[in-house]
Amino acid sequence: MAERKVVSYKVLVGMEIHVQLSTKSKMFTGAANGFGGEPNSQVDEQVLGLPGVLPVMNKKAVEYAIRVGLALNCQIAKRTKWDRKSYYYPDLPKNYQISQYDLPLCFAGNFELIKRDGEKKTIRIRRAHLEEDAGKLMHEAPGGYAIDHSIVDLNRAGTPLLEIVTEPDFSAADEVAQFGQELQKLVQFLGVSDGQMQMGQMRFEPNINLHITDEVGQVQKTAITEIKNLNSFSVLERATSYEVQRQLTAWQKTGSLGRKSTYGWDEASGQTFLQREKEDADDYRYFPDPDLVPVEVDEAWLAEIKSQVGELPAARRKRYVDALGLSPIDAATLAGDRETGDFYEAVIAAGGEPKRVSNLLLSHGRRLANIQSKPLAEIGISPARFAQIAKLLEDQKIAAGTAGVLLDKLVQADQPPEALAAELGLMQVSDSGAIDTAIDALIAANPKALSDFKCGKQSAMGSLIGMVMKSAKGLNPKMVGDRLRERLSG
């Protein structure tokens, strides 16, 4: 049979993201929450699902979840509850996961994604609810030796997990990956998760389908497939692209729209593979957990959490552009994480002019941070020192190229930059007497250049300034130009 013709197609991707919250204890018990530790060392009766043990909600986890909800412009439910999701598998011994079904804590939000081409796109957030993570089943012993049974580590079981669900508003794989990166920065900024992908602290599940316009103008909608548990941005992008292409090719070749199903990603072959056809919510037999009381979020609590969140990255970016005059790209870089933004503001508070400080940090600050593989705030130069160097530049006491030299020295040993510049002979001469002497000497030695200039060869000015600059070390180029122009026009 001939292949079907695709006139055009639209990609629709929604995302489910699971974020582990970095609370001290687990979601419904006091057992320690954290990565690492001897297998099965972070468990207690509740995690083991022993009979008669009751769960107690972790208030901090609810606060962390609300922080994220607020940052995603969600509505926060005034009243929410907990539901049991039936789940029979040895990585969660209770045989159900406590989750939130019909009353999620956060809902109806949106996130403004600034795409790589600078264009803005609004991604609607359907919901963000709290639940608990499962443990880890291993079918191979750590170290790789063969075993005839599976082993389970329950350290992860019961970890607070925020599940964020977007509407299918992504229309390309790179948007999906970029959203993942922005969300990682956001949870780190909010201090609710380390967001380390390789530790499974953030896991992405794109839900993908296509609207294909066929030869007779009809729209063919492929079944939604979900790719489970992707934990790198690169895989997220490649797996989404692959799945789009797979659905498209399947329809072209067979006319099949596929079935709602779950796929995995195989990194070795670079392909998605079918895991199972998808359950409906009915299969999980959700029902309200009788052991937990509903959560009431009153205005006072919400106000307190809002104050913990403070100014969000998007608002900070906007303020850097509107009030401090930075370019949108510079503003986005400086406001990209909380520490860098705070450092930038500390330099301004110490007296640095905002634009000059931005330039200094984004050039030399970033260079030194890269060399040391450390965040800007930890390279060993205080905000006050950056402010002092910005001031030396502003007062034209040093030349632009000198700032880097001084900063390199400051990394090695802290000292006042002005004294250092003097010691290194890097202070710019802004003394008009010295400049005039140099100009006099030049005029005496080059009568021709002078007469050229007077005959109207304005272009000779550049080379005259160059000659004065060369004749004595460290002259302030702007002052040389000004004084020379004054002399020659006189």
Binding site for Mn ion (CB under 5 A): 163
Q: Minimal distance in Å, beta carbon 205 to Mn ion? A: 9
Q: Minimal distance in Å, beta carbon 225 to Mn ion? A: 17
Which one, 115 or 276, has the nearer CB to Mn ion?
276
Which one, 200 or 336, has the nearer CB to Mn ion?
200
Structure token digits, residue 3: 């292949």
Which one, 163 or 169, has the nearer CB to Mn ion?
163
Which one, 18 or 338, has the nearer CB to Mn ion?
18
Q: Minimal distance in Å, beta carbon 237 to Mn ion? A: 22
Which one, 163 or 175, has the nearer CB to Mn ion?
163
Q: Minimal distance in Å, beta carbon 163 to Mn ion? A: 4
3-class state of residue 440 by DSSP? helix
Which one, 99 or 388, has the nearer CB to Mn ion?
99
Which one, 163 or 345, has the nearer CB to Mn ion?
163
Q: Minimal distance in Å, beta carbon 18 to Mn ion? A: 6
Which one, 35 or 87, has the nearer CB to Mn ion?
87
- In order, the DSSP letters of 109-156 are EEEEEE-TTS-EEEEEEEEEEEEE---EEESS-TTS---SS-EEE-TT
Structure token digits, residue 480: 């040389």
Q: Minimal distance in Å, beta carbon 228 to Mn ion? A: 11
Of 66, 31, 44, 68, give the one whose Cα is nearest residue 295: 66
Residue labelled with tokens 């705070």:
342
Q: What is the separation, in whole angstroms, between the first and last Cα of the chain?
A: 91
Q: Minimal distance in Å, beta carbon 63 to Mn ion? A: 20
Structure token digits, residue 252: 């072209």
User: Would strands 160-166 and 120-132 be described as parallel, antiparallel, or unpaired?
Assistant: antiparallel
Residue 182: phi, psi to the nearest 5?
-65, -40
Which one, 159 or 340, has the nearer CB to Mn ion?
159
3-class state of residue 162 by DSSP? strand
48, 247 contact by CB (below 8 A): no
- Please state, in angstroms and rounded to a whole number, the distance separating the CA atoms of residues 98 and 121: 34
Structure token digits, residue 94: 């209770």
Q: Minimal distance in Å, beta carbon 191 to Mn ion? A: 22
Q: Minimal distance in Å, beta carbon 380 to Mn ion? A: 43
Packing angle, helices 432-445 and 460-471, rounded to 10: 110
> Buried b vs exposed e over 192-215: b needs ≥16 C-beta within 10 Å?
bbebebeebbbbbbbbbbbebebe
- Please state, in angstroms and rounded to a whole number, the distance separating the CA atoms of residues 247 and 231: 22
What is the amino acid identity at position 78? Answer: K
